[in-house]
């Protein structure tokens, strides 16, 4: 197999050169996939579109991630990378007081607050040192499917043939979408982040802090140079109400501990907004391609597992690709199924964690997270309640899809309520028009979710 060096020029009509795997994306998932592939003797070409890393919402590396870094062969690079070490987590979750979870009790040792630019750059450097070819700042090349032989692409004037493509393009999942994959979101979580500099000398403890408030939750962690990264998590409707700075101010005003922690720091010069919802691609893999990291399944930062799941995907993807190149036609399907099972387990854990916070029963943010999926929500709707579509409800309805059971067509449901009718009549009208779609219960849950969002309104 090739070492990843650029192929020599070829005369017209000569077959394209072989480069086993094209990796689209050079973040932790893509770079780690390239490293794992090269460890198995498989050539890889990485196209990293961004000129530099984006703003990471989560910068924390929990101790259970360290064995994965060791398996990948990059743990020494992290230990020598100048990242700020973390002794544990302090959280006000389920009660007002901050409670400590000290990493001294973790078998893997301490955690780290990462400098993401340095971490991501280190992984790409390791991939190159292992023999992968890395193109930084390049646009993803157009790809043409060539039957069982793989994919063709023209890169840097050379026509290359790839046996597999790895989509590591993050939440955009651009290659998977181009192959027909759809993204399903389970919520509308968004993170609003700022990097704060101290006004004067400040003694900043090494712990990660998490604090639940009525409108969402807050995350803060120290970085090198006594800077503090703070991220405030809420749903997109709260962000839309007043913008990033207003949302940050509102959540900080609801907090006790985080507000005190940021007080010695200068005000944020800029708030960075990033999606943070739980979402997954369907499918995760297909003929000649598979997705890794956030392009496969993206997780709530509360799990502190984003980097760990990117590394796990990368290691498992390399194994699946090796089997695929050896003639195993089912290896990609097994890889995708394992990702789906892991994501289902994550959703259950996510629900249990959010249910541990009972202090805000009237908060839409918390109510939306008390079930692993909309299908599990209890039926509380009075079937006799007269409802109708609220003014401008249809325009706002599309963003409500993550809160609706799968299979419910939100625009059609809005049409059924446009003139106003009892809830049971709206459900019956929708089901009559879509007899093979979602169940009665799913439609009822969808109606009550739209009512809670103000997309439907009660009428006398």
Residue among 127, 142, 103 at smallest CA distance from 39: 127
User: What was the pLDDT predicted at 4?
Assistant: 41
Per residue in 159-169, pLDDT (tens digit) is 899 999 999 99
In this structure, the dihedral spanned by the alpha carbons of residues 301, 307, 313 and 315, taken in order and rounded to 10 degrees, is -160
Among the residue ranges 31-35, 57-61, 93-97, 364-368, the one predicted with the least confidence is: 57-61
Res. 394 pLDDT band, cuts 50 70 90: confident
Q: Which two tokens stand for residue 221?
A: 């962690």
pLDDT for residue 52 is more than 80:
no
Tell me: pLDDT of 298 over 80. Answer: yes
Model pLDDT, residue 272: 93
Q: Is the pLDDT of residue 46 over 50?
A: yes
Q: 3-class SS at 99?
A: strand
Q: What mean pLDDT comes out for the span 114-140?
A: 92
Average pLDDT over residues 146-160: 84
Question: CB–CB of 239/232 below 8 Å?
Answer: no
Q: Rounded to the nearest 5 degrees, what angle is found at the Cα of 339, between the Cα atoms of 186 and 436?
A: 55
Give tens-digit pLDDT for 186-233: 899 999 999 999 998 888 888 999 999 999 999 999 987 788 999 999
Average pLDDT of the chain is: 89
- In the DSSP assignment, the letter for residue 9 is P
Query: What is the rounded average pLDDT of the residues 101-122?
Result: 85
Full 3-state SS string of 54-80:
CCCCCCEECHHHHHHHHHHCCHHHHHC
| Residue 12 confidence (pLDDT) | 44
Sequence-ordered strand ranges (E) for 309-422 = 386-389, 421-422
The pLDDT assigned to 10 comes to 40
Give pLDDT, residue 117: 87
Residue 64 corresponds to which tokens in the numbers above? Answer: 């259970």
Ordered by where they begin, the domains of the chain are: 17-59+115-186+277-352 (3.50.50.60), 189-275 (3.30.9.100), 373-458 (no CATH)
Of 33-47, 80-94, 150-164, 369-383, which gets the smallest average pLDDT? Answer: 369-383
CA 58: distance to chain centroid? 11
State how far the Cα of 43 lies from the Cα of 132, in Å rounded to an integer.
6
CA–CA distance, 380 with 378 (Å, rounded to integer): 6
Does residue 449 have a pLDDT over 90?
Answer: no
pLDDT at 11 over 70: no
**In 3D, which of 253, 191, 198, 257 has the Cα closest to residue 223?**
198
Helix 306-325 and helix 331-355: axis angle, to 10°? 170
The count of C-alpha atoms lying within 13 angstroms of the C-alpha of 400, restricted to the half-sphere facing its C-beta, is 26
Least confident of 136-140, 294-298, 313-317: 136-140
HEC states along 139-202?
A: CCCCEEECHHHCEEEEECCEEEEECEEEECCHHHCHHHHHCCCEEEECCCEEEEEEEECECCCC
Nearest to 3 by CA among 132, 195, 188: 132
Average pLDDT over residues 401-422: 89
Mean local confidence (pLDDT), 145-150: 78
pLDDT of residue 7: 39
pLDDT at 78 over 60: yes
Pairing of strands 285-286, 289-291: antiparallel
* pLDDT classification of 116: cutoffs 50, 70, 90: confident
């Amino acid at each position: 197999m090739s070492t990843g060096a650029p192929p020599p020029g070829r005369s017209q009509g000569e077959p394209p050169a072989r480069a086993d795997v094209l990796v689209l994306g050079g973040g932790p998932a893509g770079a780690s996939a390239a490293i794992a592939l090269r460890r198995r003797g498989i050539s890889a070409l990485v196209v990293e579109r961004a000129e530099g890393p984006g703003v990471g919402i989560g910068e924390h590396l929990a101790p259970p991630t360290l064995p994965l870094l060791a398996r990948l062969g990059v743990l020494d690079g992290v230990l020598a990378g100048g990242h700020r070490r973390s002794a544990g987590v302090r959280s006000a979750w389920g009660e007002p007081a901050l409670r400590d979870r000290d990493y001294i009790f973790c078998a893997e040792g301490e955690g780290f607050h990462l400098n993401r630019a340095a971490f991501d750059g280190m992984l790409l450097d390791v991939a190159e040192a292992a023999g992968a070819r890395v193109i930084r700042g390049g646009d993803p090349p157009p790809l043409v499917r060539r039957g069982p032989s793989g994919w063709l692409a023209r890169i840097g004037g050379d026509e290359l043939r790839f046996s597999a493509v790895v989509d590591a393009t993050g939440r955009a999942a651009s290659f998977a979408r181009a192959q027909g994959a759809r993204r399903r979101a389970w919520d509308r979580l968004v993170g609003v982040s700022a990097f704060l500099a101290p006004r004067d000398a400040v003694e900043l403890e090494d712990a990660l802090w998490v604090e639940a408030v009525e409108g969402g939750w807050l995350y803060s962690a120290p970085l090198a140079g006594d800077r503090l990264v703070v991220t405030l998590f809420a749903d997109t409707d709260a962000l839309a109400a007043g913008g990033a700075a207003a949302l940050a101010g509102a959540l900080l005003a609801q907090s006790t501990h985080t507000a005190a922690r940021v007080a010695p720091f200068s005000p944020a010069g800029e708030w960075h907004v990033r999606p943070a919802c739980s979402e997954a691609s369907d499918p995760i893999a297909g003929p000649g391609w598979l997705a890794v990291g956030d392009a496969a399944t993206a997780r709530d930062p509360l799990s502190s597992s984003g980097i760990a799941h990117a590394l796990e995907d990368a290691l498992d993807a390399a194994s699946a690709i090796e089997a695929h190149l050896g003639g195993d036609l089912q290896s990609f399907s097994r890889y995708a199924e394992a990702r789906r099972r892991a994501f289902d387990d994550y959703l259950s854990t996510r629900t249990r964690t959010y249910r541990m916070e009972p202090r805000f029963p009237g908060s839409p943010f918390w109510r939306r997270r008390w079930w692993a999926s909309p299908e599990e929500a209890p039926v509380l709707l009075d079937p006799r309640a007269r409802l109708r579509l609220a003014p401008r409800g249809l325009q706002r309805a599309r963003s409500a899809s993550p809160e609706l059971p799968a299979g419910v067509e939100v625009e059609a449901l809005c049409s059924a309520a446009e003139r106003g009718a009892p809830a049971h009549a709206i459900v019956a009208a929708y089901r009559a028009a879509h007899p093979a779609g979602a169940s009665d219960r799913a439609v009822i849950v969808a109606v009550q979710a739209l009512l809670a969002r103000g997309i439907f309104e009660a009428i006398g």
